[in-house]
Structure 1
Amino acid sequence: MNRSTFLSLLLILPTALFAQDVWTLKSCIDYGLKNNHSNQVYANEKKLADAKAREALAAYLPTVTLTGTLDDNLKVQQTVIPAGVFGPEDVRVAFTKQYQVNPMAQLDQTIFDKSLITGLQANRYSKLQAELNVAKNEETLIYNICNAYFQIAVYREQLELLHSTNETYRGQMQVTEQQVNKGVTLLKDLEKIKVNYNTSLTQIRVAETNLTLSENQLKFEMGFPILEQLTVKPITNETLDFYIPTTDSLQQASVSNRTDYKLLQVNAKLTEIDERRLKNIIYPKLSAYARYGNVGFGNEVNQAWSSMSSYSSIGLKLTIPIVDFKRQAQITQAKYKWRNSIENFKLEESRYQVELENTRSKFKQEQSNLRLYTENIELAQSTFNAIHLQYQKGTTDLTEWLTAQNTLRDSQSNYLNSLYNFFLAKVDLEKAQGTLKDFYQTLSN
């Protein structure tokens, strides 16, 4: 490696290392989707749904059980054989001995159970429900990370404006102090500037605290170590244009894209299946079994084990429910749960539609407000610059200078509020459209 190449690498390396330490919105979301602990919770819920599906299916698969009993008949029961069977007197006979052993294996197989078959239909929807919950959690993480990220962006811009204002007050305070010493300006004018200067210092400390709180909130939402440094990339005017959706996306959006909407559909289907499952309990159930075992008797335990003889049997079992008041009550409960799920679905569908229309209108309004307040802050800055120059030349008084400065400060505050409201309206719109993941995918690192 020659000397020039080595020097070039040394120049590039610090820049590359710095770039790795600056987090974009996309990289923050990437990290959060991988490291937030809620991801594992919902991943476990999905595995739990899979296990429940296998449990439901297992009811239609053969089961094999092994049982074994050892009875110690402390006092053997006797049975009376009436007189005339084996003689003129009643005969008392014991048909067992003190010890009895009975190891047995049994296989059971369900042949027909309509309620069970109906219940198996819920497996597909239970899995879908778990998958949708995972998707909903991811959307929640994207929304929360965006919110915290935008708060940081706004507080940073606020700090820049406050520091600029503070420098203006400090510079003017030095000039006025010299004028007071020369006797050309009253002391009360200097005190007025000091009051505004001290106020700006307080506002800076508040903004710094708010920035720290927002950074900690972002770390929490990402699952990022709270004590480690996290530097996010500033949002420039160029990136602002990226967050503006096209007219087509606003018109084509539908509440059916929302994960919440899809979850309501799945929940309604599950309650319907549960009602049908309970109703189908009335149908006969048919099962088959095969049994093989050994039985032994003896006055000693060893004798019982050594005298065992085997037996086996196969058969069918038919169960026909006749009267079951508990099941009737369960069916009634399931029926109203299903009806309520349908009504809730219709209610939430209407609410989602209203929310979508409101977020569309709010985004357009915030979009317009941001342009207006951006223009206002430029006008206020231009006005203050002109009055500041006039004040320096002595052609205007301090009151007009302070008024122009306060107007500039108010316009800055309005701009910052509008900027955050614009960001929030953007993610609210993406949420209402069900396109938060699409929004995340379009972000650039």
Structure 2
Amino acid sequence: MNKNIIFLLLAFLPCRLAAQSSWSLKTCIDYGLKNNRSNAIYANEKKMADAKAKEALAAYLPSIGVNSTLDDNLKVQVSVIPAGIFGPNDLRVAFTKKFNTNHVARVDQTIYDQSLLTGLKANKYNVQQADLNQRQNDETIIYNISTAYSQIFVYREQLNLLKANQETYKGQMEIISFQVKKGTALQKDADKVTVDYNNAQSQIQVAESNLTLAENQLKYEMGYPINDTLTIDSTTSGDVFMPVTSTFAINSPFTADNRTDYRISQVNAKLLEIDESRIKAGALPKLTAYAQYGFIGFGDRLGPAFSGMSPYSAIGLKLNIPLFDFFKRNAQYSQAKYKRLNAQENLKLDDDKYQLDYENARTKVLKEQSNVENNRRNIALAQSVLSTTDLQLQKGITNLTDWLNAQNSLKEAQNNYLNSLYAFFQARIDLEKAGGTLKTFYSGLSSAHEN
């Protein structure tokens, strides 16, 4: 019984490994969102925002300090009591000794500081900014992985077409070689087909090299080990980009708020507004409470300065009213004001720019999708012409030149199709970026693309 179970497990294991070894676009993005090294940078930025919030709050919390001093008065200062108070002559008196020590603990508590209170409002926006930066990084990962993934699909399509063309040339070489031996064809005709066959082989090698580069680029964007094998799911690679007419990005009205970079600019504008208010609040009085307790000692020698210390304590309020820093503060306020105004104007410019980007991207993606469909039909037509010409060549009612021209027309149609296919994939992901829907695009990748 145990042997049967082990046999079944061993038989099932390769199937599981095979299933897991094929990567869809969604699984590639899943991996990249977890393993791309940039994640650590933006996670640290979020921690920095939290620490910055604590720093701002700490300015309104009690501060405690302990201060100790030891003075060695190498030459004791002497004060003069004027004549007539204690006698007819001036009296020179020293009010300290050679050594004096002072140890004091002090607690300061800000009671009112409007500039600090205003600055605390920035904490919420600093956290939002860190979150939006993290989101923008996720969108960049999704965009880069999708772009690299589509390149792999296009290069694989190119390889399939080139290998099919090579097989066609190979079959024609065999036929023309037989005809040369029979004397019904010239050697130059065989050489023409051989040249095209060799060109196809060279093109295959270039395409294989490009495919390897694209795979390495995808691994890099994912944070996947470069030297490890990554098998891409070829069956659904193109389906995830089609049809574009049913996507959220193409049908929904554009709003700049969908774009993360626009929302980051909004947060930055709010931070500039808070900074402007903080500088303005710097003109208001600041009230601080304090309490201190200490010991002070004096002595002609070092020992008594420590052993004979006397305690003292005090509590009080400190009011600070800035009076003569108006010009400096006013200049700072003016700078902050114009920075805030420029940020608001840039938001309006960005709104128009992002609207333009979206409309252009939507127009381009529909155009490129139409080009893909037209070029796919052209391939079918060129293939039909080649089949007809091939049959005519076999019957001897046309020549090899017509056959080669038909084959070249097919290759041209294939190249046009591949170029339009890549342009469509790029326009497709650019549309999601322009519409601020990269996250929606990623979330909408169906589970069918994962298996």
Q: Name the TM tier (shorter chain).
A: over 0.9
The amino acid that maps onto 2:167 is E
Give the SS at the match of 1:65: strand
Partner residue, 1:66: 66
The amino acid that maps onto 2:323 is I
The amino acid that maps onto 2:324 is V
Instruction: Go from structure 1 to structure 2 and tell me whether the alpha carbon gap of 1:115 and 1:217 turns closer, same or farther (over 3 Å shift).
Output: same
Length-normalised TM-score, structure 1: 0.96
Partner residue, 2:16: 16
Partner residue, 1:257: 258
1:409 matches 2:411: yes
Partner residue, 1:293: 294
Shift of 1:10: 5.0
Shift of 1:2: 8.6
Shift of 1:67: 1.0
Structure 1: distance between partners of 2:322 and 2:402: 92
Partner residue, 2:203: 203
Deviates more, 1:183-192 or 1:343-352: 183-192
Partner residue, 1:153: 153
Partner residue, 2:305: 304
Give the SS at the match of 1:323: coil
Structure 2: distance between partners of 1:217 and 1:95: 80
1:441 matches 2:443: yes
Partner residue, 1:355: 357
Partner residue, 1:25: 25
Structure 2: distance between partners of 1:245 and 1:277: 49
Shift of 1:242: 4.7
**CA contact under 8 A between 1:129 and 1:266: conserved in structure 2?**
yes
The root-mean-square deviation of aligned C-alpha atoms, in Å, is 1.8
Shift of 1:255: 2.4
**CA contact under 8 A between 2:21 and 2:230: conserved in structure 1?**
yes
Length-normalised TM-score, structure 2: 0.94
Matches within 5 A, 1:205-220: 205-220=205-220
Structure 1: distance between partners of 2:135 and 2:113: 35
The amino acid that maps onto 1:367 is Q
Deviates more, 1:125-134 or 1:363-372: 363-372
- Among all aligned residue pairs of Structure 1 and Structure 2, give the percentage whose two residues are the same amino acid: 57
Shift of 1:197: 1.4
The amino acid that maps onto 1:95 is F
Structure 1: distance between partners of 2:5 and 2:171: 46
Give the SS at the match of 2:108: strand
1:128 matches 2:151: no
Deviates more, 1:366-375 or 1:39-48: 366-375
Matches within 5 A, 1:215-364: 215-236=215-236, 239=239, 242-246=242-246, 250-253=250-253, 254-324=255-325, 325-364=327-366
**CA contact under 8 A between 1:243 and 1:426: conserved in structure 2?**
no
Instruction: Go from structure 1 to structure 2 and tell me whether the alpha carbon gap of 1:388 and 1:433 turns closer, same or farther (over 3 Å shift).
Output: same
Give the SS at the match of 1:378: helix
Give the SS at the match of 1:60: coil
**CA contact under 8 A between 2:108 and 2:290: conserved in structure 1?**
yes
Structure 1: distance between partners of 2:246 and 2:385: 35
Shift of 1:263: 1.0
Shift of 1:326: 2.2
Structure 1: distance between partners of 2:22 and 2:62: 59
The amino acid that maps onto 2:260 is T
Shift of 1:181: 2.7
Shift of 1:243: 4.9
Give the SS at the match of 2:282: helix
Partner residue, 2:180: 180
The amino acid that maps onto 1:186 is L
Structure 1: distance between partners of 2:8 and 2:395: 51
**CA contact under 8 A between 2:153 and 2:237: conserved in structure 1?**
no
Shift of 1:439: 1.1
| 1:12-41 C-alpha deviation (Å, 9 max, x unpaired) | 432221111111111110110011111110
**CA contact under 8 A between 1:255 and 1:356: conserved in structure 2?**
no
Give the SS at the match of 1:289: strand
Where structure 2 has 5 or more consecutive residues not aligned to the other structure, the ranges are: none
Partner residue, 1:382: 384
| 1:258-297 C-alpha deviation (Å, 9 max, x unpaired) | 1111111111111111111111111111111111111111
Where structure 1 has 5 or more consecutive residues not aligned to the other structure, the ranges are: none
Deviates more, 1:401-410 or 1:364-373: 364-373
Deviates more, 1:401-410 or 1:373-382: 373-382
Partner residue, 2:373: 371
Structure 1: distance between partners of 2:222 and 2:237: 25
**CA contact under 8 A between 1:139 and 1:436: conserved in structure 2?**
yes
Shift of 1:392: 2.6
Shift of 1:221: 0.5
Shift of 1:249: 5.0
Shift of 1:366: 1.4
Structure 2: distance between partners of 1:157 and 1:248: 27
The amino acid that maps onto 2:305 is A
Deviates more, 1:239-248 or 1:89-98: 239-248
Shift of 1:416: 1.1
**CA contact under 8 A between 1:255 and 1:432: conserved in structure 2?**
no
Shift of 1:386: 1.9
Deviates more, 1:388-397 or 1:149-158: 388-397
1:139 matches 2:139: yes
Structure 2: distance between partners of 1:14 and 1:385: 42
Matches within 5 A, 1:48-87: 48-87=48-87
Aligned residues: 445
Structure 2: distance between partners of 1:215 and 1:94: 87
The amino acid that maps onto 1:239 is D
| 1:65-106 C-alpha deviation (Å, 9 max, x unpaired) | 111111111111111112222222222211111111111111
Structure 2: distance between partners of 1:21 and 1:376: 35
Give the SS at the match of 2:229: coil
Structure 1: distance between partners of 2:330 and 2:272: 16
Partner residue, 1:392: 394
**CA contact under 8 A between 1:150 and 1:420: conserved in structure 2?**
yes
Deviates more, 1:134-143 or 1:74-83: 74-83
Deviates more, 1:84-93 or 1:347-356: 84-93
Partner residue, 1:41: 41
| 1:217-265 C-alpha deviation (Å, 9 max, x unpaired) | 1111111111111111114488257553427652324222111111111
Deviates more, 1:32-41 or 1:89-98: 89-98
**CA contact under 8 A between 2:291 and 2:314: conserved in structure 1?**
yes
**CA contact under 8 A between 2:105 and 2:292: conserved in structure 1?**
yes
Give the SS at the match of 1:282: coil
Structure 1: distance between partners of 2:275 and 2:390: 76
Instruction: Go from structure 1 to structure 2 and tell me whether the alpha carbon gap of 1:378 and 1:240 turns closer, same or farther (over 3 Å shift).
Output: farther
Structure 1: distance between partners of 2:124 and 2:252: 30
**CA contact under 8 A between 1:153 and 1:235: conserved in structure 2?**
no
Give the SS at the match of 1:104: strand
